[in-house]
Amino acid sequence: MLNRAVYFIVAAFALLCALSLALTPSLSNAQSVTISSSDKFSTEEIIDKGRDFFGSVAKSLAEVVEKAVSEYGQPNAYILGDEAGGALFAGARFGDGTMYTRNQGEHPIFWQGPSLGFDVGGDGSKVMMLVYNLSAVNDIYTRFPGVDGSAYFVGGLGMTVMKSDDVVLVPIRSGVGARLGMNVGYLKFTDQPTWNPF
């Protein structure tokens, strides 16, 4: 029975991905600005920005950032923003914020995406995303698949990892709400807001 449920989730996710490629307009007009991989942010800078942004969970944030840096090194960009999401087995997530780079300034950014799985509830989050191996600003405007197994509670903190080609994202979320379960999905990043999660 469980094998059939897992098969159904994987097949439905593949169908969601195929539909999203067919329905989403091309992002080829996005700005192509080169980002130097040597212009990285130090662990201390990221923690300081996170303390200002998150506030009361600074101690937990420092531990999560240090874990991410120990696995992936120093990011050459980061995103600060807000997002909201909900699911009753199928769900969606929407967010917006600003991407910061060392040598190419700040860029407004939006993200949205569907999810499918054993996942129920809703959450609103402040999000810091560490961005690794970003060689151009428009490399962020794509889909990042991932598996989210975080449990969200009041005041909770969660970290996931997403990857598209060489670019790695580490979203760190702290928010309010209750969301529990495991889901598969992706986040699509754009330079303009949209309500289409695909």
**Complete DSSP assignment for 170-190:** EEEEEEEEEEEEEEEEEEEEE
pTM for the complete prediction?
Answer: 0.76
Amino acid at 158: G
Q: Sign of the C-alpha dihedral, residues 71, 82, 97, 189?
A: positive
Which of these, 79, 106, 107, 75, lies nearest to 95 by C-alpha position?
79
- Please report, in tens digits, the pLDDT of each residue of the chain (198 residues total): 444 443 444 344 443 443 343 333 433 334 445 665 568 999 999 999 988 898 766 667 788 888 889 888 999 999 999 998 877 777 888 999 999 999 889 999 999 998 776 666 777 888 999 999 999 999 999 999 875 555 433 346 678 888 999 999 998 888 666 555 666 788 999 999 887 777
Tokens of 76: 């050459």
Which of 195, 5, 21 is CA-nearest to residue 89?
Answer: 5
